[in-house]
Chains A and B, each alone.
Chain A
Amino acid sequence: MVVFKKPQSLSPVPTHYCPGCTHGIVHRLVAEAIDALGIEGQTIGVAPVGCSVFAYNYFECDMIQAAHGRAPAVATGVKRTNPDKIVFTYQGDGDLAAIGTAETVHATTRGENITIIFINNAIYGMTGGQMAPTTLPGQVTTTSPYGRNPMIQGNPIRVCEMLSTLDGLAFAQRVAVDTPAHVNQAKKAIQKAFQNQIDKKGLSIVEVLSTCPTNWGMSPTEALKWLRENMMPYYPLGVYKDIDAKEENK
């Protein structure tokens, strides 16, 4: 009996990602959710600018590639004109929380019925390791060579916490992909974020604490350990909003 194989919605091609980059794991989890819900033929994905700019090569569903940070705006247009389709964005932290902050915040507060998969790897990967809004205090990047100093470069943004104050948000969960148990938890969260859209609940976001071994300057296994020891205390895992839970409490 096959207990694990490549999901159908994932294209059978090699990816351009660096060895051990967790973008690959999250791609697979998205494809597994699409398979599990049987929505491959109805799904439209929006790829960002960033290392995952080529995500359209890796999913078997239809894909669009948006200008930097504009994925939630593009997804809004796609969803409003095709309300029967399932629309998701896949975005890094530079894309979603720097140049695309306005699109992220406003799509959320409007309660667009879309799904956002947010990769928080605390750095700009594609462009060679510059500081991101999510870079940790003290973290060395090419644009914070002495470590990020909040007095100079400002404080990081906790995206799930920030968005959870907005009424249009249906669901926000922060997960990580550093261990098999956490990957399985992330899989459930991503599937829920898609199910919410099928159930017309509003905007769902899953923030995935991820690694960039190349620009962090670590081996892939060291990077997972660094994520656990440094990112998790600053970005606690958990559900930040779930409108279902609220209904239950009433």
Chain B
Amino acid sequence: MNKVTFNTDLCKGCGLCVEACPKKIITLAADVLNKKGYHPACITDAEKCIACAMCATMCPDVVITVEKNV
């Protein structure tokens, strides 16, 4: 399976990855606060990820690593 990993402590909850994801499988975790006090981004349905890295391309804080299953 493709894998998207978030370095959650660095996330500022800006939502640019949420908007960029063509599969609409990223959300800001409403019930979680990270160290910085932001609602961090997370994946809702990892199975649907196509490893396009559009989320990571738009992330200003280099929170996201994308791995493709080959």
Chain A interface (Cβ within 8 Å of chain B)?
1-6, 10, 14-15, 17-25, 28, 179-180, 183-184, 213, 219-221, 224
Which of chain B's residues have a CB closer than 8 A to the CB of A18? 12
Min distance, Cβ A209 to any Cβ of chain B, angstroms: 15
Interface centre among B13, B19, B60, B68 (most CB of A within 10 A): B60
Contact A14–B19 (Cβ < 8 Å):
no
Which of chain A's residues have a CB closer than 8 A to the CB of B38? 19
Min distance, Cβ B16 to any Cβ of chain A, angstroms: 6
Q: How far is the CA of A28 from the CA of B70 in the complex (A)?
A: 26
Contact of A221 among B15, B61, B66 (CB under 8 A): B15
B64 at the A interface (CB under 8 A): yes
Least CB separation from B3: chain A residue? A2
Contact A3–B67 (Cβ < 8 Å):
yes
Min distance, Cβ A250 to any Cβ of chain B, angstroms: 37
Whether A20 touches B14, Cβ cut-off 8 Å, given contacts A4-B66, A5-B65, is yes
Contact of A1 among B9, B61, B64, B70 (CB under 8 A): B70
Least CB separation from B57: chain A residue? A180
5 A-B pairs with least C-beta separation: A24-B60, A20-B14, A19-B12, A4-B53, A19-B14
B10 at the A interface (CB under 8 A): yes
Q: How far is the CA of A224 from the CA of B70 in the complex (A)?
A: 34
Contact B70–A24 (Cβ < 8 Å):
no
Contact B14–A220 (Cβ < 8 Å):
yes
Contact B16–A1 (Cβ < 8 Å):
no
Whether A4 touches B12, Cβ cut-off 8 Å, given contacts A10-B62, A180-B20, is no
Which of chain A's residues have a CB closer than 8 A to the CB of B61? 14-15, 17, 24
Q: How far is the CA of A18 from the CA of B13 in the complex (A)?
A: 10
Contact B12–A25 (Cβ < 8 Å):
no
